[in-house]
Amino acid sequence: MDAKNQAKYEARAKIIKAMAHPTRLFIVDELARSGRRCVCELTEMVGVDMSTVSRHLAMLKNAGIVEDEKRGAQVYYSLRVQCVLDFFECVESVMKCNLKDQQKLLVS
């Protein structure tokens, strides 16, 4: 793999990596469901320190997955690209496929 390709796949991996954490997945899922949430709301839902949630959101923003909008004292986050939901769909089908194979093993 040459340097150019290396850089290309590193850039892609960076974006995917931003999704590869349970808390951030939850946040993305919640934003997809509700459209928009402020940090304090997400903090309560997730149940960790607000500074931690803020960091997770900064990662998602840095990757270009979410965007923020200041409204008074609150900062509201929302999805910047809708297609991230395809991620979930695909992950679900992989999991279903894994489950099916495990059942096959049990039967035989």
**Residues at the contact surface with a second copy, assessed by CB under 8 A:** 1, 5-6, 9-13, 15-17, 19-23, 25-26, 29, 45-47, 63-65, 80-81, 83-84, 86-91, 93-95, 97-98, 101
Residue 64's φ and ψ, nearest 5 degrees, are 90, 20
Instruction: Kindly identify the residues of this chain, within the stretch 50-79, that bind DNA according to CB under 7 A.
Output: 50-52, 54-59, 68, 70, 72-76
What is the residue-wise DSSP string for 28-93?
Answer: HHHHHHHS-EEHHHHHHHHTS-HHHHHHHHHHHHHHTSEEEEEETTEEEEEES-TTHHHHHHHHHH
Measured from the CB atom, the residue of 73 and 83 that comes closer to a second copy is 83
Q: How far is the CB of 99 from DNA (least distance, A)?
A: 22
69 binds, among a second copy, DNA, none (CB under 5 to 8 A by kind): none
Please give the structure tokens belonging to residue 3.
């340097």
